Structure 1
Amino acid sequence: MKKLLTIALILLISNTYGQLKPVSYKDGAQKLNGFSIAPAKSVRKKAGILILPAWKGIDSHAKTVAAELAELGYYAFIADIYGEGNYPTDTKSAGERAGAYKKDITAYQLRIKLAMQELIKAGADASRIVVIGYCFGGTGAIEAARANFPVKGIVSFHGGLGRDSTRTISPIQPKVLVLHGADDFFEPTPQLLAFQQEMRTAKADWQMVYYANAVHAFTEAGAGSDNSTGVAYNEKAAKRSWKHMLMFLDEALAE
């Protein structure tokens, strides 16, 4: 029975995955290539989820997330942050390109904003949007909150939380959910505490959930299982964080 259910789920996701539509858009002269998907039944009052991928750009994980959200009744759009001709080919180039956007926050925020416009063009209600992101994308989601994008909330899965201490802390309007590996040593304790204090100073409506025995990239099935590397998949944390996100969406998007 379990095997049959697994096969059925794979077929369901595969069918929806095929409904993902490539979308070309631009940042000036730079061509960007995102993906859009509409729900089979819009039972969420045209709520839209903007997905910010991890540091290697749009991958199978981001596409699966989009497909699953569409099955739940959400419009979804996967943002292309790097643009055509700039996609990382390995971890070194991914680190360099992600690092460049972490330094140039304004450029990162613009790419997020352009993708959000495409989500709205695809049919999502501009007043009912949530931004979610993974790793580097989780950092982007937090930056969307810091910039007070007109969204209901943001969700960061194992994202970078650091902030240049010289930046002004402004009040944060979107609700914030941070889903974090309890053993993620890429985010040292002083940085975690500084982030939490930032949320208090910004008077944000924020939540932070820690997952035991989880490190960076705990939602990524292809990340391996060796926690000592600092990057590893954790099935329990992945499932729990998904459920926590769904509860957050229900709250953030409630009428």
Structure 2
Amino acid sequence: MRRTTASIPLALAITALSAGLQAEVQTQTIEYEVNGEPHTGYIAWDDATEKERPGVLVVHEWWGHDQFTRDQAEKLARAGYTAMAVDMYGEGKSADHPKKAEAFMKEANSDMEAMKTGFRTAMKRLQEHETVDPDRIAAQGYCFGGAVVLNMARMGLDLDGVVSYHGSLGSPIEAEAGDITARIQAYTGGADQFVPAEQVGGFVQEMHAADAEYMVKSFPGVQHSFMNPKADQYAEEFSMPVGYDEEAANAAWKGTMRFYEDIF
């Protein structure tokens, strides 16, 4: 039976409205250890309801755990999820120059098992949060983080879904049939020099061979790092082939929200 607002007692309607007005995004910075090394996480959720909701891990670009990553966690919180911006480098390390960022990224990528341990540790902390349904977990990542979440799916982690934004689609891990249980979405730029068309094609072939449920969306003419509003600044400051694209960013986000509604 369809319920109309007219059927709700006035006192209840006023109470619900007041609660909605008072609800806001809550945030918490947490410290956790991976193999004895300190890591920093940032959890965001909306206190409009006390019900458990899906949790989403947010993995940073090659710059490290930064404000952009935290902003994405808060955006997810406003959409009804509890999100945790994770720290894949440890000690809250972040780079202010591409050479330092590349060094951090290479070090992290040099040991996939250690990366898996770090990711699983962060995932466990998110699952333990009082607002999270531990059986409904997804992950999304940007640039380096996009590659991370795809590799976690390749390694068979128990995730409902992963979303990669302008992440590398190639990997030293080649998934085989049955390895991947998470559903996958990958958003990439058609003009991304870091993720060329051959890499996109190779990813499609790999996912097909692995019998994975996946989707790849390429935005024509769009460059690397199109989700990050600071990409234009990086392009100018460091002469990097990157660029923010508001239209592509909005389309990718809307697609992600539909994806999460579907898998959860």
The normalised TM-score by structure 2 is 0.83
Residue 230 of structure 1 pairs with residue 238 of structure 2: no
Residue 245 of structure 1 pairs with residue 252 of structure 2: no
* Alpha carbons 1:42, 1:73 under 8 Å: kept: no
Distance (whole Å) between structure 2 residues aligned to residue 43 and residue 175 of structure 1 = 28
* 2:28 alignment partner AA: K
Tell me which residue corresponds to 1:193. 201
Task: Tell me the CA shift for residue 174 of structure 1.
Answer: 0.5
Task: Tell me the CA shift for residue 38 of structure 1.
Answer: 2.3
Distance (whole Å) between structure 2 residues aligned to residue 22 and residue 99 of structure 1 = 26
Distance (whole Å) between structure 1 residues aligned to residue 145 and residue 231 of structure 2 = 16
SS class of match (2:87):
coil
Tell me which residue corresponds to 1:212. 220
Matches within 5 A, 1:1-255: 16=25, 19-42=26-49, 45-84=52-91, 86-123=93-130, 124-164=132-172, 167=174, 169-171=176-178, 172-224=180-232, 229-253=240-264
Task: Tell me the CA shift for residue 156 of structure 1.
Answer: 0.2
- Summarize the Cα distance change of 1:106–1:42 in structure 2 as closer, same or farther, 3 Å threshold: farther
- Summarize the Cα distance change of 1:85–1:115 in structure 2 as closer, same or farther, 3 Å threshold: closer
Corresponding residue pairs, total: 237
Task: Tell me the CA shift for residue 204 of structure 1.
Answer: 0.4
- Summarize the Cα distance change of 1:43–1:21 in structure 2 as closer, same or farther, 3 Å threshold: closer
Tell me which residue corresponds to 1:9. none
How far does the alpha carbon of each residue in 1:168-208 deviate from its partner, in whole angstroms, 9 at most, with x for none? 53521100000111111211222221111110011000001
* Alpha carbons 1:215, 1:231 under 8 Å: kept: yes
* Alpha carbons 2:190, 2:197 under 8 Å: kept: no
* 1:243 alignment partner AA: K
* Alpha carbons 1:43, 1:73 under 8 Å: kept: no
SS class of match (1:96):
helix
How far does the alpha carbon of each residue in 1:52-111 deviate from its partner, in whole angstroms, 9 at most, with x for none? 011111122111111111112111111111111744342211101112222322121211
The structure with the larger Rg is 2
Which segment is superposed worse, 233-242 or 44-53?
A: 44-53
Percent identity reads 29
Distance (whole Å) between structure 2 residues aligned to residue 85 and residue 69 of structure 1 = 21
* 2:80 alignment partner AA: G
The normalised TM-score by structure 1 is 0.86
- Summarize the Cα distance change of 1:148–1:42 in structure 2 as closer, same or farther, 3 Å threshold: farther
* Alpha carbons 1:44, 1:74 under 8 Å: kept: no
Distance (whole Å) between structure 2 residues aligned to residue 159 and residue 96 of structure 1 = 17
List gaps (5 residues or longer) in structure 1: 1-11
List gaps (5 residues or longer) in structure 2: 1-20
Distance (whole Å) between structure 1 residues aligned to residue 154 and residue 34 of structure 2 = 21
Task: Tell me the CA shift for residue 20 of structure 1.
Answer: 1.9
* Alpha carbons 2:147, 2:168 under 8 Å: kept: yes
